[in-house]
Amino acid sequence: MSDEVDAVVERVRERVTPGDDERAELQAVADRLTERGEDAIASLPVDAHVVRVGSTARGTWTAGDRDLDLFVCFPPELDREELEEYGLSVGHAVLPAGHEEYAEHPYVKGTVDGYDVDLVPCYDVADAASIQSAVDRTPFHTRYLAERLDETLAADVRVCKQFMKAIGVYGSDLRTEGFSGYLTELLVLEHDGFRPLVEAAAAWTPPVEFDPADHGRESFDDPLVVIDPTDPERNVAAVLSTEQLATFQHYARELAAEPRTDLFEPSESEPVDAETVRAWFERRGTTPVAVRFDAPDLVDDQLWPQLERSLSGVTDALNRRGFDVLRSAAFADETAVLLAELEVAERPAVERHEGPPVHVRDHAEGFYETYADSDATGPYVDGDRYVVERDREFATASAFLRSDALSNVALGTHVASALESEYEVLVGEEVAPLAGEFGVELADYVDPKP
């Protein structure tokens, strides 16, 4: 067994290790861009320098990755406006065909010889605890790892990243909520290799905590805690969700149980068509309902938390009203969709409504007077309480979703405004044609994997 895992890992390692040509080419491009940056800095009225960060700087990129991250480090005294102005001017000098994007600061992004290059300004602070903006931390990470990752460990980092990509847990963006590159590198380093890491992970009982620099002081309420060796107050795994951690554990065991290289091969599902979707829901006897609207124009890191919040607001509201949600999902492309698969699409015209205990005299008398002469059935006494059966506000899930009551649901701000302008509600078979825009997403929905 052990040999089989080693053999699989070895095969993957060969595949993801960049060859000498790739390394040399990347080095050449990076050197050229760094030089251009330094030239541009020379004409500025301020001292600064260019550093390479990220996986290409640490030698932990997987073969074929073409991301180059260059940071321009400015003195910490520089005010923010100047930093941004100088940062952009260096950026445009290095990447004349680039365009500006905005994260913590504006920065310049462009393509050079097939490489996706980011040119980001940051403050050159004394240590990671004194950072003035989140990106200031990055050079410290690169330095910490560069000192500790030899080529053997770097190779294992590449294998680990490949594994995480294939099983869908790689990336600390707010849609994936998975493992960042830095987190992956720290974990491989901490366990001294990919194989010991997955063997340990297979047996983890969260919360699991690592503190490589042994300087943690705070406690974190996260399933995985890895104290940043360059900043004792930060959990590097803060973004990782419980679900993605469990998924990683699942596949760590799967690798041990049935070692095979396809666990390292990302694959996108074949899209399903409308008829497949229709037949699938029909066979299950559930009722899918979908709220569809124009996707808000936001970057993924803003969009997805809003979609998730909205989806959970809608499913909570559906559940509270008795339209029991079996499963739900959010999709986004040109349009965005909140999909809920209902066990119960229709409730009776009446609902049971419990009043106060009869012995709580003031409340009880008020409740009784309210309902005694109403159309409600009752009040009658059940246990120690008054109960009535009164008209239900919404007998169908679609009536609720089409009503103004939807706006009282906890939604993301931009989703709320999108819904205010226009949305459609699809019920039952009307959901099936969503396969046109979301065939891959629906393929994953009808055949969910760990």
Which parts are annotated binding residues for CTP? Answer: 55, 58, 141, 161, 170
Q: How far apart (Å, rounded) are the C-alpha atoms in residues 224 and 221?
A: 9
Using the rule CB under 8 A, which residue among 11, 253, 363, 402 binds a copy of itself?
253
204 binds a copy of itself (CB under 8 A): yes
Using the rule CB under 8 A, which residue among 32, 49, 260, 352 binds a copy of itself?
352
Using the rule CB under 8 A, which residue among 202, 399, 405, 416 binds a copy of itself?
202
Tell me how far the alpha carbon of residue 148 is from its chain's centroid.
29
The helix or strand, by DSSP H or E, that contains position 287, with its residue range, turns out to be strand 287-294
String of contacts with a copy of itself for each residue 278-317, x by CB under 8 A = -----xxxx-------------------------------
- SS3 state at 351: strand
Q: β-pairing, 208-210 with 377-382?
A: unpaired
Q: Which is nearer to a copy of itself, 389 or 437 (CB)?
A: 389
447 binds a copy of itself (CB under 8 A): yes
- Please answer whether residues 293 and 422 qualify as being in contact, where contact means their C-beta atoms are separated by less than 8 angstroms: yes
Angle 194-201/242-257 helices, nearest 10 degrees? 110
Using the rule CB under 8 A, which residue among 347, 353, 363, 402 binds a copy of itself?
347
Q: Which is nearer to a copy of itself, 71 or 210 (CB)?
A: 210
Span of 147-155, 176-184, 203-211, 435-443 interacting with a copy of itself by CB under 8 A: 203-211
**Per rule CB under 8 A, count of chain residues that contact a copy of itself:** 55
- Please answer whether residues 289 and 345 qualify as being in contact, where contact means their C-beta atoms are separated by less than 8 angstroms: yes
Can you read off the two tokens belonging to residue 18? Answer: 């960049």
CB of 320 to a copy of itself, least distance (A): 14
CB of 373 to a copy of itself, least distance (A): 13
Using the rule CB under 8 A, which residue among 27, 111, 130, 242 binds a copy of itself?
242
Largest pairwise CA distance in the chain: 87
Angle 413-421/300-320 helices, nearest 10 degrees? 70
CA-closest candidate to residue 57, choices 92, 26, 35 = 26
Cβ atoms within 10 Å of 256's Cβ, excluding its own: 16
Using the rule CB under 8 A, which residue among 24, 103, 381, 410 binds a copy of itself?
381
Alpha-helix runs per DSSP H in 168-221: 181-191, 194-201
CB of 242 to a copy of itself, least distance (A): 5
For residue 60, give the DSSP letter. -
- Residues interacting with a copy of itself, by CB under 8 A? 202-206, 223, 242-243, 245-247, 249-250, 253, 283-286, 322, 324, 326-327, 343-344, 346-350, 352, 357-361, 364-365, 368, 377-386, 389, 395, 446-450
